[in-house]
Chains A and B, each alone.
Chain A
Amino acid sequence: MVTLPSAWELASLVCKIFGYFGAASIVGGSLCLWLYNDGSRKNLTSILQYIAIGTFFGFQGSLLYFLIQVGMVVDKGFAGMFDLGMSSIFLESQLGDATVFRLGGFVLSFVVSCFYLYKLSSFNRHPGQFFFRFLTASNFIAFLLIVFSFRFSGHISVLGSVAKVSIAIHFLAFAAWVGSLYPLYRLTYSENIDLIQSGMKTFGQHAIVIVLMLLLAGVSMLFELFNSFNEITDTPYGKALVLKLILVLFIFVIATLNKTKFSPGLVDRNSIMRLRYSIRIEIMVAILILCVTSYFSTLVGPVSHQMS
């Protein structure tokens, strides 16, 4: 049966996007604080703000997603989202467990990021790499909590351990790549061209590993979720995956251009503008990928999960 999504389903989709954005900001932001920044207080502050805002949206998205499921079932409009009876039923379900872990992860990261924003504002020395070690460790735990939530809820949750490990690796690689894009974009506003180039070069080298992880884990999940090639071409879930792969190919092309052409060619403000524009395009494509991923993880399911 093919139907248009309801308002509840669309709202669920938006919440999922917020959740993915929040997780990406944790990993990408932490990486950029550690490796891809120009060391200036301004740049570091913007990355911390990015993590704080990302985790704020991630928290809201996770909480609202839970309430929206309640509201969708109660079906009495906005007030139905706060039905205590149905909320307690959902709290005892897999969704309740997943939500608790996600909220815990986002709260941890948000609190620590805000603490570091305060600490940095009163720090009168140049903060070195080790200044952020506690934040890095906290964000690692926060991300683990969020990844662990996939054990309870989602299409992968009913599959074996190979699929669960694959999604953890795939999610980590996605968060590292996509989550780093905005801080890298902010890096292009640095006054020091050499530091911009150095940061981009380091990211480009690490990106090879990230992309490999993304691809290998993605292929593994493909084999776990699809039983035949026909399921990829003939089902809505498969078609959405094809759309995602097209967008991923597009972002690979942009990323390759950034690594091989725009970053090495940084010599003046014009070349920085070209890189900045390219990263902006990369961010927009990444947002599209997030939307498509949220769509097929929320509104459709693989054939093995279709129950009609």
Chain B
Amino acid sequence: MKLREFFANVLLACLLMVPMLTQAHTALKESTPKDGVTVSEIPENIDLVFSAEVRLIKLELMGVGHEMPTSFKPTSEAIATYQFDTPGMHPGEFTVNWAAIGEDGHTLTNSFKFVVDPDGAAD
């Protein structure tokens, strides 16, 4: 095998390995409500617990087609536990989009969903 062909094979192998090796910087240890659950009671706040101190710079509570108000404000302080009031919550599907800066300066973004259904069985 020529050197050029060998190198091309090495390059191809590297490129093929990328999807297998990709792992997102996940940071959220737990949330309330949890990801993917259906709750029967309308939550009054959202809790986020990270495994290390992070600086939360974005929190969006999205209903279907509209953003819900929360008490979130970006701060310069890094902490591990956050709690935000969620006034005006109602039954429906919600997505929480969040972004934080980790202690190593890396940007972390992720989201989780939950459903508020007073008539349904809670998870």
Interface set of A (CB-CB < 8 Å, partner B):
1-5, 69, 72-75, 86, 89-90, 92-95, 98, 152-155, 157-158, 235-237, 239-240, 243, 247, 250, 281, 284-285, 288, 291-292, 295, 299-301, 305-308
Q: Contact partner of B103 among A2, A158, A239, A285, CB < 8 A?
A: A158
- Residues of chain B within 8 A (CB-CB) of A5 are 22
Interface class of chain B by DSSP: mixed
- Residues of chain B within 8 A (CB-CB) of A73 are 57-58, 99, 107, 109
Q: Contact partner of B105 among A94, A236, A250, A281, CB < 8 A?
A: A94
Contact with A along B1-33 (1 / 0, CB 8 A): 001000100110010011111111111110000
Q: Contact partner of A3 among B10, B17, B24, B51, CB < 8 A?
A: B24
Residue among B14, B17, B24, B51 having the largest count of chain A Cβ atoms under 10 Å:
B24
Whether the Cβ atoms of B25 and A86 lie closer than 8 Å is: no
Instruction: Give min CB distance, B97 to chain A, whole Å.
Output: 7
Q: How many residues of B contact A (CB 8 A)?
A: 38
Given known A295-B18, A306-B26, contact A86–B57 (CB-CB < 8 A): yes
B104 at the interface (CB under 8 A from A): yes
Whether the Cβ atoms of A243 and B17 lie closer than 8 Å is: yes
Residue among B50, B76, B104, B105 having the largest count of chain A Cβ atoms under 10 Å:
B105
> In the complex, what residue of chain B is closest to A69 when comparing beta carbons?
B107
In the bound assembly, the distance between CA atoms of A92 and B78 in angstroms comes to: 13
Interface set of B (CB-CB < 8 Å, partner A):
3, 7, 10-11, 14, 17-29, 50-52, 54-55, 57-58, 74, 76, 97, 99, 101-109
Given known A2-B23, A236-B23, A285-B7, contact A94–B18 (CB-CB < 8 A): no
In the bound assembly, the distance between CA atoms of A50 and B36 in angstroms comes to: 52
Instruction: Give min CB distance, A297 to chain B, whole Å.
Output: 9
In the bound assembly, the distance between CA atoms of A236 and B18 in angstroms comes to: 10
- Residues of chain A within 8 A (CB-CB) of B21 are 236, 239-240, 243, 295, 300
- Residues of chain B within 8 A (CB-CB) of A94 are 101, 104-105
Whether the Cβ atoms of B105 and A154 lie closer than 8 Å is: yes
Instruction: Give min CB distance, B64 to chain A, whole Å.
Output: 18
Whether the Cβ atoms of A305 and B102 lie closer than 8 Å is: yes
- Residues of chain B within 8 A (CB-CB) of A250 are 10
Given known A288-B14, A307-B50, contact A1–B23 (CB-CB < 8 A): yes
Residue among B3, B7, B52, B106 having the largest count of chain A Cβ atoms under 10 Å:
B106
Whether the Cβ atoms of B104 and A281 lie closer than 8 Å is: no
> In the complex, what residue of chain A is closest to B13 when comparing beta carbons?
A243
- Residues of chain A within 8 A (CB-CB) of B11 are 284, 288
Whether the Cβ atoms of B25 and A89 lie closer than 8 Å is: no
Whether the Cβ atoms of B101 and A72 lie closer than 8 Å is: no
